[in-house]
Structure formats: C-alpha cells, structure tokens
Amino acid sequence: MEAYVVLREEEYPTLLEELKKQLPASLMVYYPLMLSQENLLPKFKTICVDKWPEFTCVLEVENLADDVSPHRVNAYCRREECSVNLYSMICQLLQKTPSDILIYGGPRRMKEIISKSNDSNSSRISASGCCGSKSVRGTVPTDLLIHNAYRVSKDTLKKSEVPVHFSVTTIKKEHMDLILSKWPQSKIFSDAKEFFTHTATSLESVCILNESGEPVAWGFEQHYGAIGMIYVLKEYRRKKLGSAVVSILSEKILRKHDFVYAAIETENTESILLHKKLGYEKCDIYPECIFNWFFYEKEKKGTTKCCQ
C-alpha cells in the first residue's frame, strides 16, 4: 500500500494556495511550485501528499533522467511529529528512483524523530547544511552547518550602491564555469552546470563586472525561495561588492514578492552582519522548518531496506 497520493496537475493550484497560507514554513515547496506554474522552472515529474485534501506532508519530485544524481526532491511537513509519514513517502519514492536523493526542506529534527520511531535504517538519512553530503550513515551530525532564515521587505531593505569602476549585469551562460568553480558543493550534482545555468538565467540574478568586463561578484535567486550563491572573488573583497549584490538582487525580487529570504549558516557571522546592515531580520516564525537539507543514500545493490 502506497504511503502517498499522487496529485493531478489540475490540483496543483489548490495545493499552491494552501501552501501559501502556511508560509514561511512551507517556502521550500511553495516557491518551486509557484515558479513551475509560472513556467520559470520545468514541470515536476510528480507531486505527492500523504493525503488529500487535508495533507500534512508534501513531496515534489523533479523530472530528471535516471542517470542524474542526486535526484532533487522538495519536501514539507506541516508538523514535526509527521516526520515519520514524510519518511515513509521518501522510502516508497526510493523504490522508483535509481539514484540518491537530495531533499530540500523537512523538519530540522527529522532524523532524530525517525530514529526514535525505532526505524533501524534511519541512519541512512543524513541531515546537513548546504546541499547535503555524500558522507551519510550518521557521519554528519544534525547540528552541523545549521541555517537560519532571514528576510527583508520593501520597507526594510537598505540600498547599497555599486562602487565606481564596476558595472552591473545579469549572470550569463558563459559565467557559469567560473561561478561553479567557486562553489565546492557543485561536485555533488552530476547535472550541476545544466541545473544551475538554467536557474541563474531563468530567475533573478546579479553579476558585477570589473573594468575589463570580467565577473568579480555575483548571486542569484534559488529555486527553493532564497537568494544564494553569493560570492566575491578574494582580490575584490572589502569593496562592498557583496553588499551591492545582495541589495540589488533583493530589490529585483521584491518587485514581485513581499519578502526576500536568505538561508545563512549560524556560524557565518560575517554574512549575518552583512544582511542585517541591509535590513534583513531573523525570521522567528518556525525557524526550524524553513531551510533544511537532507541527503538520502540509496543502496547500490537490491532494494532499499527501509522500503521492504
């Protein structure tokens, strides 16, 4: 018996409206679905819930080829105690997916809650900070690289101008090799260049160029509802370019939405200070449910044990 209900496309707008009511906790499933409905992201292969229409858990499965790893799945659990339901959905999903799964979303304490449910295979789901880790099976502690949510509105955003001798453009396809070379986690994705190029060029982005027209700082809107991939080349730091990227990118997104979110590691005090100076405030509404990532490693031989 399947632990989930697959929604029909005509039911997506209803789901979107319900998820909107549950923001910001539902951001990591609401935002991708909204972008997909606006044709800014590809359509999902499957969207499933634990029950319908009174759902407590949601999984959105990207339409990826079998040889792409990991498969990206957006997840939402209305209440922490429903984590076991979400886990059951993931287990059944793994039976039909040949690759590992990277889960965007879900309660921060999901692994702990699953462990307490006496599931002997719960160690195979690993909590992590930024896009998971290949080192699963309990080797990544749940308190590692915890992200907190910060947000800014049109009323609170403070502008930061681009210094002289620099110009602003958007991210282009030809910039992506450099951008991905500065982001170590890109190696996790077998389709990193294709996926992030589409995201950066379809959604809002900012790229600051030097006098020679070379990219020196950048950032872009992420598919899960936050700004991200903010980076400044080492030789151009301490010139307020990072502040300019965050400010300009936030302003562009705020033309369409009431809030802009940022997922910032608790230990990254420099980034926290930068965002606060620009008007970002820590989001205290369900902070443990907004930005979380989990990597789920599928057994390479046979059927996943937890699904038997």
pLDDT tens digit string along 97-133? 778 888 898 877 776 766 666 554 444 554 443 333 3
Tens of pLDDT, residues 243-274: 999 999 999 999 999 999 999 988 899 999 99
Q: How many residues does the chain have?
A: 308
Inform me whether the pLDDT recorded for 289 exceeds 70: no
| Nearest residue to 35 via CA among 62, 8, 4 | 62
Q: Which residues of 241-270 are buried (b: 16+ CB within 10 A; e: fewer)?
A: bbbbbbbbbbbbbbeeeebbbbbbeeeeee
Angle at 211 between CA 208 and CA 217, to 5 degrees: 20
Tens of pLDDT, residues 295-306: 877 665 544 343
Tell me how far apart the alpha carbons of residues 233 and 216 are, in angstroms, rounded to a whole number. 5
Q: For the residues 31-38, what does the mean pLDDT come to? A: 96
Q: For the residues 141-151, what does the mean pLDDT come to? A: 65
Poorest-pLDDT segment among 39-43, 75-79, 127-131: 127-131
Give the SS3 label for residue 104: strand
pTM of the model: 0.86
Q: For the residues 171-191, what does the mean pLDDT come to? A: 94
| Nearest residue to 47 via CA among 18, 22, 80, 67 | 18
> What region does 75 belong to: left with phi over 0, alpha with psi -120 to 50, or beta?
beta
Band of pLDDT at residue 151, cut at 50, 70 and 90: very high
Band of pLDDT at residue 208, cut at 50, 70 and 90: very high
